[in-house]
Structure 1
Amino acid sequence: MKDERQEFSRRLAQAMEKAGYKPRPGELHKAFNSSYAGTSVSEMTASRWLSGKAIPAQDKLQVLAALFGVEPHALRFGSRKVAVADDRAGWAEAITAQDRAMLDAFLSLPAKQRGLVRELVAALAAAGASKG
C-alpha cells in the first residue's frame, strides 16, 4: 500500500508542475479548496497527499484531476491503465464564445457560489425536462 501512495504522490506532483503549480502543500491546499464545493481540506491533508501518506477520496480525486488537467484514473492509477472514454468528447465543439465566457466566469467564482450555480442549473434543467 505504501508504494501505491508514493506513486500517487509522484503523479500528483507531476500534474501540479505541468499545470504551472509548485508541488507544495500550501499551494495545493489553496488551489484545491478554491475548486472544491465540499468541506475544505487542511494544509496537513494536502501535505499527506504530496508526501505519499494518503490518497484522497474519489470526490476529491476528481477535483484534483480537473484542476490539474489530467484524467482521474491516470492520476490515481497511472497511465498504464486504460481509461474509459467519455462519450461526450465532442461537447466542447458545440460551445459558443458566450458559453466559454460564462464558463470562465463560473470557474472564477468561489466554491460556495459555484455550488449555488450548479444547483440553479440543475433546477432549471429539471424544470425544462418536465415540460418537454
Structure 2
Amino acid sequence: MSDERFEFSRRLGQAMSAAGYEPRPAVLFRLFNARYTGRSVSFQSASRWLSGRSIPEQDKLQVLAELFGVAPQTLRFGEPARVAEARGEWNAVGARERAVIDTFLALPPRQRELVGELVKVLAQNGKRPTR
C-alpha cells in the first residue's frame, strides 16, 4: 500500500467519524451510492477506499467531500502546508507593529485592499511639503 493511498484512507475515515458516521465500508457504500448520481460503486470499491488500496476518481472524491463536509483537496491531499516567510528585517519591528500586521493579514481580501489604499494615500500625504 502506498503512503498516498494510506493517508487518503486515514483522512476519509477521520472525515466520516467527524461527520458522525462509523468508518466502515458498508456505511460508506450505502451513503455514497445514495448521493452519487453516476453508476453505483461496489462494496469492494468503498472497502478499497477505506483500506488504502485505492483512491477514488475526482467526481467521486467531490461527492465524498460533500458528504462529510470537507474540502475535496483537503480530503485528497491533506491540509496544505503553511509556508512561513523569512522574517529578515522584521526582527526590528516591535510587538505593536507585529500585532497590527497580524490583524491586517487576518482581514478578508477586500478589506486588506482598502487598507492598502489608505496606507498609500497616507504615505503620499506624508511626503508633501507643508506650507
Q: TM-score range by the shorter chain?
A: 0.5 to 0.7
Q: Aligned partners of 1:23, 1:58: CA distance in 2, in Å?
A: 20
1:30 aligned residue: 30
2:44 aligned residue: 44
Q: Aligned partners of 1:46, 1:2: CA distance in 2, in Å?
A: 17
1:54 aligned counterpart, secondary structure: coil
Residue 71 of structure 1 and its aligned partner are, at CA, apart by 0.1
Q: Aligned partners of 1:2, 1:68: CA distance in 2, in Å?
A: 24
Residue 74 of structure 1 and its aligned partner are, at CA, apart by 0.1
Residue 81 of structure 1 and its aligned partner are, at CA, apart by 5.0
* Amino acid aligned to 2:12: L
Are 1:74 and 1:81, in contact at CA under 8 Å, matched by a contact in 2? no
Structure number with greater Rg is 2
Distance 1:31 1:53, change over 3 A: same
2:117 aligned residue: none
* Amino acid aligned to 1:12: L
Residue 80 of structure 1 and its aligned partner are, at CA, apart by 2.2
1:108 aligned residue: none
* Amino acid aligned to 2:40: S
1:79 aligned residue: 79
Distance 1:40 1:32, change over 3 A: same
Distance 1:4 1:36, change over 3 A: same
1:11 aligned residue: 11
2:55 aligned counterpart, secondary structure: coil
Distance 1:26 1:37, change over 3 A: same
Query: Structure 1 unaligned runs (5+)?
Result: 83-132
Matched, 1:57 2:57: yes
Q: Segments of 4+ in structure 1 off by > 2 A? A: none
- Sequence identity, in percent? 65
What is the number of equivalent residue pairs in this alignment? 82
Query: Structure 2 unaligned runs (5+)?
Result: 83-131
Q: RMSD value over aligned CA atoms?
A: 1.3
Q: Aligned partners of 1:48, 1:81: CA distance in 2, in Å?
A: 27
